[in-house]
Structure 1
Amino acid sequence: MNLSVVGAASALPARPFTASELNELSIKRYDLRVAVERGEVLRPFRGVFIPSGVEDTAETRAAAVSRVVTPHHVVSDRTAAWIHGVNTYSLSEQAQIPAIETCARRGYAPTRLEGVDGRSRDLLDRDIMTINGVRITTPVRTALDLGCNLKRREAMAALNELAREHGITRSDLYQELPRFKGRRGVVQLRELVPLLNRHVESQRESWTLLAISDAGLPLPETQVWVDVEGIPTYRLDFAYRLAKVAVEYDGEDHDDPDQRIYDEERRGWLVDHGWIVIVVRRGDFTGDRLDAWLREIKDALTPTYSSRRF
């Protein structure tokens, strides 16, 4: 059977499967490799495959992980976030196929299965939920763990994305923080929780907001609509309304020619109506380029007139 000829929809099971099932499914390894290269089959983790025609849901993702994870371990950290609909892996990690991350509750040994990163962790019953038969940390517990475990910018993005997807609030996280006293990474977590923002719409927008905070600048409003003749027309990523300063992150989607034309027209209108528009791009988060746009914000927010006489 050649998957590249017959196609994934007719040749593959309508569910996730593992490499150990290939003989049972009458699939040759070469054919599977071709199907993966053609995008007919996805390989989220080592030895785990999902036909592209299968609906991408939390249940499907949990079913994929269940092919590898043993019942007495809990899926955690970035794998849990992935099941909850939030991708926290870097591009290089995805290219190399990441390990499934799990933890064992205290008193049980972490898994040593190949392709699984097993750890031990103090988990309460309220930290665990079940999706499609797989035990997994809840969105709140996953956010708390990633707030400790990930690098600072990635941790902020993960917190915001999980909050947006699952309605997590600062109060939810503050309630659990005392349990994390003494845990490695908790200082970072305590710093990030007050900055939680469910309205941020991308990882790099989270990075932008965090950089503004780290620079000691006042935090802008998020996703601000600007009216044209009384009608909400232009939405800004971040804005200081009174100062009429907009801060926008331009990701890869802004490379599209039509999007660029729209951006130019929109920003031209804003400038004509008294706004200062500061644009942040992909490579603007380190060194001089980071300092440059933060300085632009600071200068734009510095009053040019004071009512004070002396």
Structure 2
Amino acid sequence: MTKPFDSSHLPDVFRGSVARKAGLITASQLRGSSVRRLFQDVYTRADTEVTHELRCRGAALLAPPEAVLTGRSAATVQGVELAKPLDPVEMVVPEKQRFGPIVGIKVRRTEIKPEESRPWNGIRIARKTRTAVDLLLRLSPRKSGWVRRLRIGVPDLDQYMRANRLSDLHLNPEFYGRRNRGIRLARNALRLSDPRAESPPESEVRVVLAAGGIAAIPQVEVFSREGHFIARLDLGDKEHKVAIEYDGQWHNTPKQRAYDRKRRRRAEAEGWRFVIVTAEDLVNDFKGIVEAVWRARRGAVSPLTVPRPGQEGVRMARV
């Protein structure tokens, strides 16, 4: 009986060709169950947890020294987990550099200044301000509509700005001092971004409302006439006293529903009206969300359903 191959002497990520040349593993063992392939000629031990950071280090083994890890990949390595483990590793290389295509690695060729990155695992990683720019430049202008792209980019930027305590004052020079392809969309996203947002869906709702001509402020605090704190709203239109709240699945527990009812009743007593947006609404009813808020602005207060053929609409309700 053949003894199983012991891979414990191997690094957690390695080039197969290099390990073979060093006599650490054979070609047949590379095809066995003791190792797992991450990219062409890049492997990890089977007992190693595959994270996005691990895959970034694996991609660095293939990339030229001038390559810069950026976008969601750089953000994740920096501690803001915007990329899932198996998402493509995002890199930029100088325009004249030839690298790729490689399955699992997304490469853009564009200008990047030396001061915009620092050394990392044999390549380079974008500094925070450049990472913020590339979170938006990564969205191809050729794909889908501008609102859809903003609904992807703004939540990423909101989370990244929040985690790194960045403001538009930090980022304006980066966004307005370059001519990269897609920079106009990136500037629009920066204008819409707000680090006060506490979840990606809340950011998406804000983008949808902005596209419909409605400005909403994240995390609005409501106080009683006597000055007592009552509630904090996901999004608020202070002028018209309209609250827009996203109810994800975590709101479906009896305890959370009871808490939401009490909180919203207290805010209603101070003249606020609520539009409640669900995950289904956010995916399927762009127009319905905007219409519901405009109705609330005009003073509608009774429960209603915004027409949407074959589906339940956005709820605007007194709760």
TM-score by length of 1: 0.71
CA distance in 2, matches of 1:246, 1:156: 20
**Does structure 2 conserve the Cα–Cα contact (< 8 Å) formed by 1:221 and 1:238?**
yes
The aligned residue for residue 152 of structure 2 is 154
- The residue number in structure 1 matching 2:168 is 170
Q: Structure 1 pair 114/31, CA: closer, same or farther in 2 (3 Å)?
A: same
Distance 2:81 2:44 in 1: 17
Describe the shift of the 1:124–1:270 C-alpha distance in structure 2 as closer, same or farther (beyond 3 A). same
Q: How does 1:18-57 map to 2 (within 5 A)?
A: 18=14, 20=16, 30=33, 47=43, 51=48
Distance 2:73 2:95 in 1: 20
The answer (yes or no) to whether the contact 1:88–1:154 under 8 Å persists in 2 is no
- Size of the aligned set, in residue pairs, is 277
Provide the C-alpha distance between the structure 2 equivalents of 1:220 and 1:155, rounded to a whole number of angstroms.
Answer: 18
Find out whether 1:210 has 2:207 as its counterpart.
yes
Deviation, structure 1 residue 266: 1.9
* Aligned with residue 128 of structure 1, among 117, 133, 148: 117
Please list the CA deviations of residues 198-226 of structure 1 after superposition, one character each: whole Å capped at 9, or x if unmatched.
Answer: 11111111111111111112x22221223
Shift, 1:303, TM fit:
6.8
Tell me which amino acid in the other structure corresponds to 1:78. R
CA distance in 2, matches of 1:16, 1:261: 48
- RMSD over aligned CA atoms reads 3.9
C-alpha change, 1:122 and 1:278, in structure 2 (3 Å) is same
Distance 1:106 1:270, change over 3 A: same
Residue of structure 1 in register with 2:88 after alignment? 99
Deviation at 1:275, TM superposition (A): 2.0
In 2, Cα distance between equivalents of 1:272 and 1:232? 13
What is residue 68 of structure 2 aligned with on the other side? 74
Contact 1:140–1:173 (CA under 8 A) maintained in structure 2: yes
2:203 is equivalent to residue 195 of structure 1: no
- How far residue 237 of structure 1 moved from its aligned partner, in angstroms, is 0.9
Q: Deviations over 1:70-91 (max 9, x none)?
A: 43321122322322334445xx
Distance change (3 Å), C-alpha of 1:265 and 1:29? farther
Letter matched to residue 83 of structure 1: V
Secondary structure of the corresponding residue to residue 189 of structure 1 = helix
Could you tell me whether the CA contact under 8 Å between 2:230 and 2:263 is conserved in 1? Answer: no
Is residue 2:275 matched to residue 1:278?
yes
Q: CA deviation at 1:126?
A: 2.2
Could you tell me how far apart the structure 1 residues matched to 2:150 and 2:109 are? 23
- In 1: Cα distance, 2:238 partner to 2:176 partner: 36
Query: Which structure's residues are more often helix, by fraction?
Result: 1
**1:83-132 residue CA offsets vs partner (Å, 9 max, x unmatched):** 2334445xxxx58x333222222443224555323332200122113356
Residue 77 of structure 2 aligns to which amino acid in structure 1? I
1:136 alignment partner, SS class: strand
Q: Provide the secondary structure at the position in 1 that maps to 2:280.
A: coil
TM-score w.r.t. the length of structure 2 is: 0.70
CA 1:48–1:263 in structure 2 vs 1: closer, same or farther (change >3 Å)? farther
Shift in alpha-carbon separation, 1:186–1:238, aligned structure 2, 3 A: same
Aligned mate of 2:134, from 136, 145, 154: 145
